[in-house]
Chain A
């Protein structure tokens, strides 16, 4: 072992205890009580291998646990069901030591076999998990099937060894995703395809009741392995509630958190009323709203034209249109994401400059193009502002306002010259800059049907991104972030996007809800970290 390896091994063996620096419980927290959360849509599923939407994400987080977890209200990793872990010097083998005595809701103790079963299950194509792609770096992923992953081995009942086919700096984040939740095989088998309606996990809450289309009741798991949490005895999720109606019910004290947030039409009214404004918690979120410019077809195959569009969009005015619920963006990454390039100002709003660039591109009289946009408020209004901005430089924009699924289809097929991402914008799956690249800016996402709607593909940047993701050594984290910053600056040089704004999150809560504000704008558990909030 050379010196570097030795130091790495030391850092890594130290890493786990350092990560264990944890959440300080709220001294005023009280146990007991029940809260009511509302949602417009019914909950599709609580199967952690399947659930991938706004509302079931944090519900699943409360029912299940993964090997890794985040310190509540932050993006800092901490061990979950893993007690500790070690990474081999070559960055390819993770050895997780599991916590002893963790019990599933059915009373059985969790073991390393369950970890293997859960990872095999989520990557088995038969499961149809939308998250399977996250596990691509585990050895044997490409051959995954009923036989399971060759890269996941049970060493003893409390030790799991996961071998990767390439070093992956984001792997611990992947192990904290809902898709990595540990599930008991016997409960999955017993549910016979309906595990999503009869979930059994190790989490702080268990599902007590589910009346389809009406409500779900979560009950406290008294045997939860993390001492002291949760505080709440139960959570009632009422579904099928219009956001406007939920707001009325919040005012009358029937609802504690309207899960869908403040409807755009009500936003000004809420913020102008001191009583209601006091119930609002504001926080950042790992989100960027952007316009994609299809670089494979004229006129956006010309760099000057893409730059001109970047300079023509008045982002401040668009932020005003959504009542200031966002901050203008100048690069793909949101400011709270590691790897964000501070000090970069991007393309300034400059109509004359934009016109000059169009002339240079041989289009002094502008051109006509289509802007695809999702048809729910406020997106069509935002598109109209963009249409006016571009008209000022002679570009005639036809707005194609469609249902979400149709816009995604047009984007994937590459038939849309411009798409405003609002309503479908990229929200990070995990707090790492890597998550903003591959599917939406990398070559892999530019394939037919992918989410890279610009069809932008730069082999040099892809190689740099791959290099950054292979730097799994925590000691090189700063170097890795610098490399990511380079990648995104490289993207901006070629301007396949117009980054427009980063949305802020506005959560409303009733006066009786307790717990730090950060829990109500938790970057990982949206809208609320149910395990740690309490009733005053």
Chain B
């Protein structure tokens, strides 16, 4: 187990190194010059060259990348070109908001998705099943900004149940979490449905039925604990999907997380921020996957970690 963990952690570090290298290359070959963004339109060529030299952007690619890595191993992600602030500080100030939203969104996904999956499995092949599976298709394929704006318009503007975007209280959290919850629930609903159907076919469920237990008790007490395990193992992977989708929702709801930070940095070619957010997101994805693998043996004892 310990050996497995060590090996996986080393692998994770290598993956992150690869991500940093590829991102750095992409930003390096980008046909947009960050120095011009800093220097502004009134700058003379001398000013531009001066800034380029100060930032070390006149150096060859591998020198730049080496310097970045050297900083990174010391915990220094550099300073934002335009905000002139430590990237670490910018990301840390926004990470709590993103983590809170992630927690709330995954809770919402599970509540909605599991309920849908259970109902669909119990009424398999009948209209509740068909209706819910159709709904799961729609939610999986619906664009985030449409759902966000729709919820915002109905529940915040028209009904005034929630504030119109922003951050701070539980009421602010509901709509963005619900948006992500609805959109992500389809996966869980489908997973839960098939897992539940498998379990409902097993002998011990037949036994429970045979001894005369009510349907609700059979499903919730006997079948659910076994059926839910593979779904729980999915959460780790879901973190990765979540990180990819957070930009839009954070922008629409004015949620001050790292997705919003990344979006603004991309528009301004603020390379240290783009690098920082990419690495933090990659970290979350790698750790999420690791978590999923570590949980697997508890879900299915046939799996052994070596």
Contact = CB atoms under 8 A, between A and B. Distances in A.
B32 interface: yes
Nearest to B43: A133
B302 interface: no
A228 interface: no
A408 B32 contact: yes
B36 A449 contact: yes
B13 to A, nearest CB: 29
A212 B79 CA distance: 15
Contact of A405 (B37, B89, B160, B257): B37
Interface residues of A, number: 53
Given A130-B38, A131-B42, A193 B84 contact: yes
Nearest to B40: A130
A196 B83 contact: yes
Contacts of A404: 267
Contact of B164 (A47, A213, A248, A408): A248
B37 to A, nearest CB: 6
A449 B48 contact: yes
B94 interface: yes
Given A128-B51, A212-B94, A409-B36, A249 B31 contact: no
Interface in B140-185: 149, 152-153, 156-157, 160, 163-167
A506 B156 CA distance: 26
A114 B255 CA distance: 40
Nearest to A134: B42
Interface stretch (A12-20, A234-242, A328-336): A234-242
A228 to B, nearest CB: 34
B155 to A, nearest CB: 12
B252 A242 contact: yes
Interface string A197-219: 10000000000000111100000
Instruction: Please classify the interface of chain A as helix (H, G, I), strand (E, B), loop, or mixed, using the class held by over half of its residues.
Output: loop
Contact of A45 (B39, B82, B157): B82
Interface string B198-232: 00000000000000000000000000000000000
Interface in B229-254: 250-254
A213 B256 contact: yes
Interface string A17-32: 0000000000000000
B39 A130 contact: yes
A252 B54 contact: no
A238 B172 CA distance: 14
A444 to B, nearest CB: 8
A66 B153 CA distance: 44
Contacts of B79: 193
Contacts of A126: 54
A526 B267 CA distance: 21
Contact of B32 (A194, A212, A403, A429): A403
Nearest to B256: A213
A252 B41 CA distance: 39
Interface in A158-199: 193-194, 196-197
A270 interface: no
Contacts of A405: 32-33, 36-37, 267-269
A88 to B, nearest CB: 26
B254 A242 contact: yes
A412 B39 CA distance: 13
Interface string A343-374: 00000000000000000000000000000000
B127 to A, nearest CB: 37
B31 to A, nearest CB: 5
A382 interface: no
Interface string B41-68: 1111101101100100000000000000
A210 to B, nearest CB: 10
A130 B32 CA distance: 17
A52 B39 CA distance: 10
B281 interface: no
Contacts of A409: 31-33, 36
A283 interface: no
Contact of B256 (A40, A193, A240, A429): A240
Interface of B: 30-33, 36-45, 47-48, 50-51, 54, 79, 82-85, 89-90, 93-94, 97, 149, 152-153, 156-157, 160, 163-167, 250-257, 260-261, 264, 267-269
26 contacts: A42-B260, A50-B84, A126-B54, A128-B39, A128-B51, A130-B39, A130-B42, A132-B42, A133-B44, A136-B44, A193-B79, A194-B85, A196-B83, A211-B256, A213-B260, A214-B256, A239-B256, A240-B250, A241-B254, A245-B252, A406-B32, A410-B31, A429-B42, A444-B44, A449-B48, A450-B45
